[in-house]
């Protein structure tokens, strides 16, 4: 009889081990799916891009003029940036390259700086030689009501009709073919 009892415990031990291994595998798979899944944003493809009015971050003035995101008949890349985020310099540099290559093709670009230190944000703009429109909205106090408060660089491609055509929630690689294709279809031919 003792052999039966030990044998039963062996089977229970094996079943418990298998159950634990299966649970760990499920957690790992769910973790990988979660990490690879695009971050959800309040504004989705196909929606009208929410309008907002904030201060323009003019490096030559201590107080910026007002800037409104208006739905003009040209494509727009709207992105959020904070100088404290890792990779902010590379992200801004990449955006500037795209803008310089495409603005003659009709692309407009607006960066929303989320920094609470306006002097640091202005210095960043000057140091990175950003020529596109840069606005300031510390902690996303205004734009956060409609776009949420990004914790990492996030960009929206807005078509000429004011509709969100693409949402980029990863570190945007401006040389990535799908990104280029998304932008190019709204530009005049040969603009890239």
Note the pLDDT tens digit of each residue in 139-161.
889 988 888 888 888 899 999 99
Q: Is there a single domain that holds both residue 2 and residue 78? A: no
Instruction: Enter the DSSP assignment of 113.
Output: E
Ramachandran angles phi, psi of 173, nearest 5°:
-100, 105
- d(CA 173, CA 178) in angstroms, rounded, equals 10
Domain membership of residue 191 (yes or no) is no
Domain shared by 27 and 68, yes or no? no
Q: What CATH number corresponds to the domain at position 145?
A: 3.40.30.10
pTM of the model: 0.73
Of 184 and 10, more confident = 184
Specify which residues 164 forms β-bridges with: 158
Model confidence at 165, pLDDT cuts 50, 70, 90, reads very high
150, 72: one domain? yes
């Amino acid at each position: 009889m003792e052999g039966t009892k030990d044998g039963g415990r062996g089977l229970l031990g094996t079943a418990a081990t298998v159950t634990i291994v299966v649970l760990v595998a499920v957690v790992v798979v769910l973790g990988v799916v979660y990490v690879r899944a695009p971050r959800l944003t309040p504004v989705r493809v196909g929606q009208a891009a929410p309008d907002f009015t904030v201060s323009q971050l003019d490096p030559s003035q201590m107080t910026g003029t007002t800037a409104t995101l208006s739905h003009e008949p040209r494509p727009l890349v709207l992105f959020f940036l904070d100088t404290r985020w890792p990779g902010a310099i590379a992200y801004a540099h990449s955006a500037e390259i795209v803008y310089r290559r495409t603005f003659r093709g009709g692309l407009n670009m607006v960066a929303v700086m989320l920094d609470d230190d306006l002097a640091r944000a202005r210095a960043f703009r000057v140091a990175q030689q950003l020529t596109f429109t840069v606005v300031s909205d510390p902690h996303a106090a205004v734009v956060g009501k409609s776009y949420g408060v990004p914790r990492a660089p996030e960009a929206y491609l807005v078509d000429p009709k004011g509709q969100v055509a693409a949402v980029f929630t990863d570190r945007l690689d401006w040389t990535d073919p799908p990104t280029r294709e998304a932008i190019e279809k709204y530009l005049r031919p040969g603009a890239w």
